[in-house]
């Protein structure tokens, strides 16, 4: 037996994996990190108190690197000088089992709050990292050159660079809380996750005592404009864009949807709010193609473009449902958690028209002052089919968008 398969069988056959409670019990929602206890997704089965492993979707690459002998299986991160570049929390929302169920609120602080445990060799890793950066987006540079955004030496430099605090967040699911959020039983959730991932995580069904799952899915990144200490402080107004990834538009400028234009408009609103003494926040969620994935998305593009009746708002969702079975899998029910993590209870200007996002925030107790629609002039010609389909399906704030005759999209001949 190879070392690797010996390791694997140790993981699944050991007495600990078979049943006894972890030596490190977790109390999700406890008011302090010490009372909550560390999340331990170590390889050593005697340490583990969660299902899954660190690094979200990248855990698979780590496994491959270890298999290919490119990475020592016992490597533990050296966290010297990696602590958060801005203080976030603790906020009252961090306590209790209901406000936050899909990330670890203490995830950026493990180097500090679990220093003693880490010093004893327990493999506890951050699931959140907080740093600072400058961003330089062509749309923002155009706004700077047009005089809509001005240098202030703080948020925007004389050269037009924008200062941000940003944080990367890996998903951490508290299974009883996730189940409650969707109104299903925890056992139905565990069985579905087990059955529909090819049995990838046997502990979902064999270890009901392990209540936390680190799923191998994409996480979120937040960008904060202005002083991060103003986030969650209702004395300061907040502009916010919650954006779900659309790689084709966000990065490559595809003109079939409004994703990048809305993202850039959201960034401009955030800068404007930060310069007016408030703060701005962009939450970027890795939920490509409404969490249906890019393969599904491109199949749908072809179905739309080859439709005998043309690409129209009326058939926009029909094609998605035909390929994927549903219109959307983004589970906006979990989206408010990151705002709870930041202590946010009110958004003054929300750069979105999505009824699903607005409803999810309202349901989570986060109030919205104003939903800011995408200006008509920023909608690419070929994205009118999408925006009109969404308006017909419940998008808010459509008064700002002119619909004279239903839009027609292009055919496949590009």
Which residue has tokens 């191998």? 216
Q: Is 36 labeled as catalytic in the residue annotation? A: no
Task: Report residue 383 CA to chain centroid gap.
Answer: 24
Q: How far is the CB of 26 from Zn ion (least distance, A)?
A: 38
DSSP helix/strand/coil, 170: coil
Strands 238-244 and 346-350 come out as parallel
Q: Is 360 in the site for Zn ion (CB under 5 A)?
A: no
Q: Is 344 in the site for Zn ion (CB under 5 A)?
A: no
Closer of 203 and 311 to Zn ion (Cβ): 311
CA distance 78 to 56: 19
Residue span binding Zn ion (CB under 5 A) among the ranges 52-60, 256-264, 293-301, 365-373: 256-264
Contact (Cβ atoms closer than 8 angstroms) between residue 28 and residue 174: yes
- Cα-based distances in Å from 271 to 41, 57, 124, 239, 346: 38, 31, 36, 9, 18
Closer of 53 and 249 to Zn ion (Cβ): 249
**Which strands make up the sheet holding 173-174, listed edge to edge?**
51-52, 212-214, 173-174
Q: Is 292 in the site for Zn ion (CB under 5 A)?
A: no
User: Which position among 242, 259, 263, 299 is part of the footprint of Zn ion (CB under 5 A)?
Assistant: 259
Q: Which of 36, 290, 304, 330 is catalytic?
A: 330
Residue 265 φ then ψ, to 5°: -65, -40
Q: How far is the CB of 245 from Zn ion (least distance, A)?
A: 9
Residue 221 φ then ψ, to 5°: -125, 135
Scan residues 191-250 and list those touching Zn ion (CB under 5 A): 246, 249
User: Which position among 257, 267, 271, 389 is part of the footprint of Zn ion (CB under 5 A)?
Assistant: 257
Q: Which of 328, 337, 348, 384 is catalytic?
A: 328
Q: How far is the CB of 221 from Zn ion (least distance, A)?
A: 17
Q: How far is the CB of 249 from Zn ion (least distance, A)?
A: 4
Residue 222 φ then ψ, to 5°: -110, 145
Q: Is 132 labeled as catalytic in the residue annotation? A: no
Closer of 44 and 382 to Zn ion (Cβ): 382
Residue numbers at the binding site for Zn ion (CB under 5 A): 246, 249, 257, 259
Catalytic residues: 328, 330
């Amino acid at each position: 037996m190879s070392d690797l398969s010996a390791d694997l069988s140790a993981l699944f056959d050991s007495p600990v994996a078979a049943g006894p409670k972890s030596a490190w019990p977790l109390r999700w929602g406890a008011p302090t990190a010490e009372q909550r206890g560390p999340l331990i997704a170590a390889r050593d089965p005697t340490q583990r108190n969660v299902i899954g492993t660190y690094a979200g979707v990248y855990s698979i690459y780590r496994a491959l690197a270890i298999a290919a002998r490119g990475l020592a299986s016992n490597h533990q991160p050296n966290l010297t000088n990696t602590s958060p570049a801005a203080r976030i929390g603790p906020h009252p929302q961090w306590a209790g089992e209901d406000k936050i169920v899909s990330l670890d609120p203490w995830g950026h602080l493990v180097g500090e709050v679990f220093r003693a445990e880490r010093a004893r060799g327990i493999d506890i890793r951050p699931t959140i990292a907080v740093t600072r950066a400058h961003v330089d987006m062509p749309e923002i540079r155009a706004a700077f050159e047009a005089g809509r955004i001005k240098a202030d030496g703080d948020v925007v430099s004389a050269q037009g660079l924008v200062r941000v605090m940003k944080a990367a967040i890996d998903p951490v699911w508290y299974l009883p809380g996730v189940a409650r959020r969707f109104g299903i039983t925890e056992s139905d959730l565990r069985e579905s996750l087990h059955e529909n991932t090819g049995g990838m995580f046997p502990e979902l069904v064999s270890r009901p005592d392990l209540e936390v799952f680190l799923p191998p899915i994409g996480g979120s990144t937040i960008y904060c404009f202005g002083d991060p200490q103003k986030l969650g402080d209702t004395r300061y107004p907040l502009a916010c864009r919650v954006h779900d990834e659309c790689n084709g538009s966000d990065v490559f400028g595809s003109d079939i949807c409004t994703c990048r234009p809305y993202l850039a408009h959201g960034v401009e609103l955030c800068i404007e709010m930060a310069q007016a003494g408030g703060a701005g926040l962009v939450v970027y969620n890795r939920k490509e193609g409404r969490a249906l994935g890019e393969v599904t998305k491109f199949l749908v593009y072809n179905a739309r473009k080859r439709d005998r009746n043309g690409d129209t708002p009326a058939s926009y969702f029909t094609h998605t449902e035909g390929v994927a079975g549903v219109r959307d899998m983004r589970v906006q029910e979990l989206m408010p958690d990151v705002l709870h993590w930041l202590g946010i209870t009110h958004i003054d200007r929300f750069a979105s028209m999505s009824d699903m996002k607005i409803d999810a925030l309202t349901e989570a107790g986060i109030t919205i002052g104003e939903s800011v629609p995408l200006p008509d002039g920023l909608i690419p010609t070929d994205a009118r089919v999408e925006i009109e389909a969404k308006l017909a399906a419940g998008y808010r704030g459509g008064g700002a968008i002119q619909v004279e005759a239903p839009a027609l999209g292009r055919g496949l001949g590009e």
